[in-house]
Structure 1
């Protein structure tokens, strides 16, 4: 994957000054207006009564390309060896140090909540030399293809290889796929799957473009997140009343609320980051 999904047209460099994501009449969450941290009271900006600050705020930033020498060289994610999917051989990948830590956190989360203990992560790579259209060029993106142990797949994210499998096998593989995706959505806001486009049929792409160092929450206008939650409801939770539309609709809201109630989660999915995390953990643990 070479690009995060397009969202609002206003885009700013994360390493520069992050400004308001638009001063129109757009709304978020409960219909209120959102501003980024530290901008309330900035001279020259209009002060609008009743503003609320989301937790965390979105960061509309463009990647900042860096040279490989500026990044951390790694041969593992946590305890798991890194293997390049194209060659099938152990390799070195290069990432921003903080992003590498987030990958380690994801794998620890996966091990904790699925009971799987991968000893190998197969990937299509991390850093590539490129432009400001690619989070890979900044060392803040990674493409996951398979989780393996003892030379065998625990979970294959190669949808291109098994999408035509017999119905029973396909159901099993889709459930496993979306349990992995849930862990990735717990840690990363931009998680691109086969539902995003055909170029992601052989891996899941993750990056930190939307929230930077913060962990994600639901953004109701996000097609990527809506598709993912709907796929989890359908393929993991067996909610056949939910369709994968990419729209945050009433059926999706009702299903996720019922699932969170079932697992004693906090409130509704769209209300907080904690609810988002609880839904993803419950999905990972769902047998």
Structure 2
């Protein structure tokens, strides 16, 4: 259904901040240039980010700012992928802010480079919805990703509800691909909600720009969603045993991620820096 206009709400601080960040996000997509980490054996390339050498930014902790969809970019594609509404299977317009759209473009570029898939179709449950100050969808800064497809077939399905009861070998394959894809989303977005978060996310992964705005994310140890994802990546991608998806950054999780970073030549420990966070995520994407 075509969205209907709602009264725009004033609030320039976050909107201005995101506009300022848009140029950096777009530049990162276009550049694909220098790398931030000295490469050790097996360490994937990491894109240099604008202002990377600056101290890690504080969380914004700003509430969503609902806007009318006419204030947003109208996207029919993200990168080379056509945007399709999962419910109908038809092409649809996604209304998003410029920096958010650029971040989705960047994620698809990273997915192609490090996971090795080139989707021509991105299926989602939508982006902008009319709402209140409790939803990043209402500000055009969120999307619910369901599937990546090419040539009329699935490349990656984030529909855990459809394959969670698959036979063990198929389930292992799908879980590994799910969490390699989730690693790319965590690379670009601070807030990434998977099937581990609650039952409502069994058929998609939700991402938004809520926590850092235009900045790239880092690991926040108190973030249940981030830590659960790390633990799931350790189990389903790296084959680490003895780790439970508790959402607590415990000694077992710290030890496992430190070993992984050492193995790929990454810097320090996972929670030490944005650089270490990115190294872990890129290495996870590339572990096919």
- Whether the 8 Å contact between 1:56 and 1:215 is mirrored in structure 2 is no
The superposition leaves residues 201-251 of structure 1 with CA deviations (integer Å, 9 ceiling, x where unpaired) of 000000011111101111011100110000000000000121111100000
The superposition leaves residues 99-135 of structure 1 with CA deviations (integer Å, 9 ceiling, x where unpaired) of 1001001100111111110010000000001100000
SS, match of residue 125 in structure 1: coil
In structure 1, the partner of 2:7 is: none
In structure 2, the partner of 1:191 is: 192
State the 1:98 CA deviation: 1.0
SS, match of residue 64 in structure 1: coil
Who wins on radius of gyration, i.e. which is larger?
A: 1
Q: What are the within-5 Å matches in structure 2 for residues 207-246 of structure 1?
A: 207-246=208-247
State the 1:14 CA deviation: 3.5
Note the residue ranges of structure 1 that are not aligned, 5 or more in a row. Answer: 1-12, 18-52
Total equivalences in the alignment: 240
In structure 2, the partner of 1:283 is: 284
Distance in 2 of aligned mates of 1:122 and 1:76: 11
SS, match of residue 81 in structure 1: strand
Note the residue ranges of structure 2 that are not aligned, 5 or more in a row. Answer: 1-12, 18-53
In structure 2, the partner of 1:270 is: 271
SS, match of residue 271 in structure 2: helix
- Whether the 8 Å contact between 1:56 and 1:217 is mirrored in structure 2 is no
The superposition leaves residues 253-282 of structure 1 with CA deviations (integer Å, 9 ceiling, x where unpaired) of 000000000000011100000000000000
Change (3 A) 1:232 1:256: same
In structure 1, the partner of 2:141 is: 140
In structure 1, the partner of 2:248 is: 247
In structure 1, the partner of 2:258 is: 257
In structure 2, the partner of 1:155 is: 156
Q: TM-score w.r.t. structure 1 length? A: 0.82
The superposition leaves residues 33-83 of structure 1 with CA deviations (integer Å, 9 ceiling, x where unpaired) of xxxxxxxxxxxxxxxxxxxx9602111110000001000001001000011
Q: What are the within-5 Å matches in structure 2 for residues 66-77 of structure 1?
A: 66-77=67-78
Instruction: Give the CA RMSD over aligned residues.
Output: 1.4
SS, match of residue 61 in structure 1: coil
Kindly indicate whether residue 160 of structure 2 is the aligned counterpart of residue 125 of structure 1. Answer: no
- Structure scoring higher RCO (CA < 8 A, sep ≥ 6) equals 2
SS, match of residue 271 in structure 1: coil
Q: TM-score w.r.t. structure 2 length? A: 0.81
Distance in 1 of aligned mates of 2:104 and 2:279: 19
Q: What are the within-5 Å matches in structure 2 for residues 106-125 of structure 1?
A: 106-125=107-126
SS, match of residue 270 in structure 1: coil
In structure 2, the partner of 1:37 is: none
Structure 1 moving runs of 4+ over 3 Å: 13-17
- Whether the 8 Å contact between 1:14 and 1:59 is mirrored in structure 2 is no
In structure 1, the partner of 2:183 is: 182
- Whether the 8 Å contact between 1:65 and 1:138 is mirrored in structure 2 is yes
In structure 1, the partner of 2:92 is: 91
